Amino acid sequence: MTLRTDFDRLKQAHLRGAFSYEQRIELLSRLDAAVRRNREAVVEACSQDFGRRARIETLAADVMVTLDEIKHARKHLRRWMRPQRRAINLTFKPARGEIRYTPLGVVGVVAPWNYPFQLAIIPLANAIAAGNRVMIKPSEFTPSVSALIERLVGEVFSDDEVTVVQGDATVGAEFTKLPFDHLIFTGSTAVGRHVMAAAAANLTPVTLELGGKSPALIAPDYPVAQAAERIAFGKCFNAGQTCVAPDYVLLPEAQLEAFITAFADSIARRYPDMAGNAEYTGIINTRQSTRLQAWLDEAKAAGVRTVACGPEQLPDSENLRLMPPTVLVNPPDNLTVMQQEIFGPLLPVITYEGLEQALGFVLARDKPLAFYLFDRESARVDAVLGRICAGSVCINDVLVQFGQDDLPIGGVGASGMGHYHGRDGFLTFSKAMPVMHQARLNGMSLFDPPYGRIITRLVDFLTRP
């Protein structure tokens, strides 16, 4: 009842009048100020929820990226909102046509736990830029951040502009059943299927930001140490708990040992004291930590060679769950670590004999949320891009494509659907409404029966074989 009451309040507010350009800019400006004012609170809340989370990681991925998104929207919003002229068919001139971008109404946002602040506030900013009211369901697995989001939203918005709903998975399921004008969900592919099914009952359009196994492919002649350095960054940032983290690596068999050495050296340089290093982030909760350990144990029991890049035994308590980055060499396909998204610091490394074999390995699986190619030969890069279909691609680096304001973020197939960020977020939460303005003097009366000679000859002429 409370969920429906909150939704109806937002819906009625929207029906009384959508936000003007000036109102949107004001709301985004207030949101920007609130995020800046609460930046240290975000850092503290994330550390409480993760047990330990690097301050710079929180500031970079949850605060800085969010502020960049808000700034980008404020800078470009007037141009985004401007109606676009469209051509009118010759036979209907002198009418004129345009596209107007109108707000949808009430947008629902279901945020995950891995970047709990950013992945709630960026969709909020996109939806506000498009002129919508918003209802947010933060993750129950990050209670400190979720409480902060509710407080921050209360500072910026009235309860008929944006509201935050707290609760467990049961509340989340009921949330997705509301008749939103658009629903964006970030989370696992399995839960995404349930979200889409719930939204279908109301014909609610959805943006699904899911996950999957995002590969990193190292070309035969690429400097393997450089690739290992960047892959280590992607696998260690937030302890690998990133939807676009490199899930596994494909590399030439001859480069295997060099990669493992370079990867381990990179980890040692970053975290010389992993157990006591506040810059190495913990696993979010015991459930996820236990899952990752079970997958690692399964691989070891199957005889897979594993290389822990750091002490295998790290502190494990209710408030601190640590797992060292661990390479798994050529694990067989039937292992869980090769069947499901890892979402942690385990890194399968698969060797290949030829590039075609590596591409075949990727193409035989679901379309990934991200694809990383390490290659300096432009013709080969173009050839690979001509065959790969992924949510996003980054050449010779990892993760950084996610933080670009003018590049959309979105999956494809099992990794999701739809886009947001920047103008693409504005478009996602808007209706591109075609409008035709009929001229005072026009020839449409010619189409009224009884049909005369002029219209008959004109239609015959225009449809002649």
Q: What is the pLDDT of residues 313-325, one digit of tens each?
A: 676 666 778 899 9
Q: How many domains does the chain have?
A: 2
Give tens-digit pLDDT for 72-122. Answer: 999 999 999 999 999 999 888 899 999 999 999 999 999 999 999 999 999
Domain assignment present for residue 458? The answer is no
Closest CA to 138 of 42, 245, 12: 42
Q: What is the DSSP string of 274-324?
A: TTT-TTSPPPS-HHHHHHHHHHHHHHHHTT-EEEESS-SS--B-SS-B---
Task: Tell whether 132 and 249 lie within a shared domain.
Answer: no
Of 236, 243, 309, 394, catalytic: 243
Least confident of 32-41, 239-248, 411-420, 449-458: 449-458
Q: Residue 320 has what pLDDT?
A: 79
Task: Tell whether 123 and 198 lie within a shared domain.
Answer: yes
Domain assignment present for residue 438? The answer is no
Of 69, 161, 209, 341, catalytic: 209
Task: Tell whether 205 and 255 lie within a shared domain.
Answer: no
Domain assignment present for residue 345? The answer is yes
Give tens-digit pLDDT for 414-424. Answer: 999 999 999 99
Give tens-digit pLDDT for 179-232. Answer: 999 999 999 999 999 999 999 999 999 999 998 899 999 999 999 999 999 999
User: 208-247: buried (b, 16+ CB within 10 Å) or exposed (e) per residue?
Assistant: bbbbbbbbbbbbbebebeebbbbbbbbbbbbbbbbbbbbb
Task: Tell whether 278 and 378 lie within a shared domain.
Answer: yes
Task: Tell whether 264 and 143 lie within a shared domain.
Answer: no
Instruction: Give the range of the structural domain holding residue 55, as residue numbers without chain letter.
Output: 2-210+414-433
Distance CA 50, CA 320 (A): 8
Active site residue 140: no
Domain assignment present for residue 172? The answer is yes
Residue 194 exposed, middle or buried by CB count within 10 Å (0-12, 13-18, 19+): middle
pLDDT confidence band for 277 (50 / 70 / 90): confident
Domain assignment present for residue 128? The answer is yes
Task: Tell whether 111 and 258 lie within a shared domain.
Answer: no
Task: Tell whether 220 and 203 lie within a shared domain.
Answer: no
pLDDT confidence band for 443 (50 / 70 / 90): confident
Closest CA to 296 of 329, 254, 265, 259: 329
For the chain, how are helix, strand and coil distributed in percent, rounded to 5?
45, 15, 35
**Are the C-beta atoms of 94 and 442 separated by less than 8 Å?**
yes
Would you say residue 278 has pLDDT above 80?
yes
Q: Which residue would you say has higher pLDDT here, 452 or 204?
A: 204
Closest CA to 127 of 214, 222, 27: 27
pLDDT confidence band for 386 (50 / 70 / 90): very high
Domain assignment present for residue 227? The answer is yes
Would you say residue 1 has pLDDT above 90?
no
CATH number of the domain to which 295 belongs:
3.40.309.10
Average pLDDT, the chain: 94
Would you say residue 445 has pLDDT above 80?
yes
Task: Tell whether 174 and 222 lie within a shared domain.
Answer: no
Domain assignment present for residue 384? The answer is yes
Q: What is the pTM of this model?
A: 0.93
Task: Tell whether 183 and 291 lie within a shared domain.
Answer: no
Q: Residue 318 has what pLDDT?
A: 65
Domain assignment present for residue 442? The answer is no
Active site residue 209: yes
Give tens-digit pLDDT for 3-61. Answer: 999 999 999 999 999 999 999 999 999 999 999 999 999 999 999 999 999 999 999 99
**Rounded percentage of the chain residues whose pLDDT exceeds 70:** 98
Q: Residue 254 has what pLDDT?
A: 95
Task: Tell whether 40 and 101 lie within a shared domain.
Answer: yes
Task: Tell whether 309 and 424 lie within a shared domain.
Answer: no
